[in-house]
Amino acid sequence: MHPPDFQLRPSQRLLALFGVLLLISFSAILILPINAGLKFLMCMLISAYIWHICRQYALLKSKEAIVRIIRLNDGRWRLVTANGKGCIASLSGQSTITAHLSILNFRFTEKPGRQNCIIAGDSLDGKLYQYFLMTVRFQ
């Protein structure tokens, strides 16, 4: 039997979530009792950071964005990034898995470091997200 292969796609849900976070951040900044120039600078910094997060996790356009996850027979995972590089990693216990959103924290086995991956229900086709959840939970 071949290992499960999960090809991720851009997520509308994550894009909406990050948009809401941006609006909440702007609202919080605008009510601060500081001068307008500093508020503008803070809004620009947060916008740049949210844009980076959107490219990495929602749009999958960043070079480091994980676009494919393959479960190996030994329980480890092969992660493939948008630039085509692959690496072997194990799933950390710090990961959060829910019915609508999964935040996965992978530890590389061949080199030091970690890689995060956020997967929403619409990042995978149809019932594939539920199959993914079962694969992760019962590894």
pLDDT in tens, 70-127: 999 888 999 999 999 999 999 988 899 998 999 999 999 888 889 999 999 999 987 8
Q: Which of 24, 40, 58 is the last residue of a domain?
A: 58
Domain match, 127 and 69 both? yes
- Of 113, 103, 108, 112, the closest CA to residue 133 belongs to 103
Domain match, 129 and 74 both? yes
What's the pTM value of the predicted model, to 2 decimals?
A: 0.87
Chain centre distance of CA 44: 22
- The DSSP line for the chain is -PPPEEE----HHHHHHHHHHHHHHHHHHHTSSS-HHHHHHHHHHHHHHHHHHIIIIIS--STT-EEEEEE-TTS-EEEEETTS-EEEEEE-TT-EE-SSEEEEEEEESSSS-EEEEEEEGGGS-TTHHHHHHHHHHT-
Domain match, 38 and 92 both? no
pLDDT at 90: 94
pLDDT at 132: 93
Top pLDDT among 49 and 127 is at 49
Domain match, 104 and 119 both? yes
Q: Which domain holds residue 18?
A: 12-58
* Domain count within the chain: 2
Give percent of the chain above pLDDT 70: 98
Domain match, 50 and 79 both? no
Give the tokens for residue 67.
Answer: 């676009």
pLDDT at 2: 67
Q: What are the Cα distances from residue 46, in Å, to 65, 67, 87, 96?
A: 20, 25, 31, 24
d(CA 52, CA 59): 10
1 band by pLDDT with thresholds 50, 70 and 90: low
Domain match, 52 and 72 both? no
Domain match, 76 and 97 both? yes
Domain match, 90 and 132 both? yes
Is the pLDDT reported for residue 130 higher than 70?
yes
Top pLDDT among 115 and 138 is at 115
Domain match, 112 and 132 both? yes
Q: What is the mean pLDDT of the chain?
A: 93
